[in-house]
Structure 1
């Protein structure tokens, strides 16, 4: 049976519930996923004076063929994009600046250091998102940045974040699409602190200074990202969820929810609808925590499905900015991008193919038996047939055929690259 034939049978089954499958695919096509560049080089970046990875971040594995230049990284991203349906965005950190061999401190970065990324994005019709990099730097060695007790160190990081917002505004103008500029810091303490309020006061003052410069929201959207704990900050993190939630709401900034930055029993999917009541937009970094913020490749698991459902059934496809954040060096990095991004898109399609309106009616009527029965029944509906058809229609490989392309790319490019190094 062909993909088309399987699709028509699946379509009829879904349409018996009043689900317009073609309309669902048309909606899905319009949703961009912000794909993080740092999966391709293990969060290394291209600074001339490159530092060891720090800030509670760890990448394990040594799969051959890691990108070591901007050109290699962009080449690898292009390969992944050929295997991912839709038109998407690329998420950059400041450490991916290109300075032509010149040492440029992070607080001195300018838009022209990202011109190659801008030109490349224009060529491939991609949006770009941006992040100041407040880790892997001598001025972050003690795990403190924007909350540091030393004013001179705080000022350095403030200047870096201000420079990042200007860079983002420039990129947004060049591409005609607003850049999400997200601030995450590693600040915290390994053991129980004697003062929790002081560092948070300093962080608030630093953020106030950063955001005091008017940046056109047509081209730049500001977000702040919390974390529960990290390596070296197990007892206390300055930028907690409560801190940033309050700051974002009070200052009209986006609150970014990273799926790996909460207690293992917390579900980020459960937070989306709550934030949407108080903010026009919510930002996500989707990863897969296993024991801690371990940033495994996104899997098509229950929580990912629930995230997709929360976005779709609340009609928030234009209100939730979806980005990815994982880094696995134990497997082929192009495959990691492909698997994780395809799974995120699958979760949205899965949600679009649910009888969401009818399920809401069952809930309002108190008919929880029927609601549960239908939810369980739809788990075995022919979702895969619709996904394969969507991939084929979007001119990317269906099923596991994408893996053949990755294997060929590994033989032709990655192995040769590894042998050179």
Structure 2
């Protein structure tokens, strides 16, 4: 009895301890069990869905009205754009959302366009006046970024009273499309700082989406300054792009001498704009420095020439002052020098010069001239014993 009751009692004590432990741990484990689905697979699915939505999001444009006449006004709304991005809104003809703006901004009413900046969430709301584009409809409201990464969106719009014409048909041959973001490569040299034409290379990758190869395609490069329409120039490319293949294309781009400011570089092929790339060109400060120096040097030179002419034409005086003859540096200046009087004892026994040896009056050796120059005695005030005697007197 005792041997059988011992194990049963031990089992009962074990169950009691387990129940007591569960009662103690249940308030701690219950919140964790309730939060486990939210922090587990469910949270991962939500994050994955948010990432997928952000990756698939594209800029969207909506209009307050699908049709309006010239002089009216519509409200354009957008979402899905980059935050704080500068956008340009235009009404363009010969365009569809599928084929884009055929002919680029030359098909748009550029003078009546409006600029808008997106908010922190990538949305905007702006009123746009209705204007007639320079080409027939079908028309769209075209919204595109001005700077930064290229992004655009189109919304179908009908300009009441504006003529309509069918879109040009696509050829049965090859059809090129841009596969990667285009960029401008190269830099400006020191000569550009002094007004030389800025030059770059437009580099892009295109693919042939048509059924036939494209041989030696001829592209068109357009340069637009500010809101002006681009000026197009042909740029041939030598090579063949087979169907379903891609190729890297480099085309030279050059502006006029002294160009500066904000430019828009466009690439067109087959009447369709493939790429639009902004280009900010710095001011040629070397030209400004040259003009500043020119404005300082030329007036100074003219002033010097004028002063020389005035000095040359100035009348001279009729009475020219007589200049004293130059005195030789070796010859001592005798004029004005006074002789020192000799002592009376030295001149007492000296005979007076005869009539034949008398110096001319007024000369430096004349005693009268020498005596007159001395203020402290006169010939009559000399001592009687020291007077010179004449010849024949006793």
Greater per-residue strand proportion: 2
Greater per-residue helix proportion: 1
With normalisation by structure 1, the TM-score equals: 0.20
With normalisation by structure 2, the TM-score equals: 0.21
Considering only CA atoms, is the larger Rg found in Structure 1 or Structure 2?
A: 2
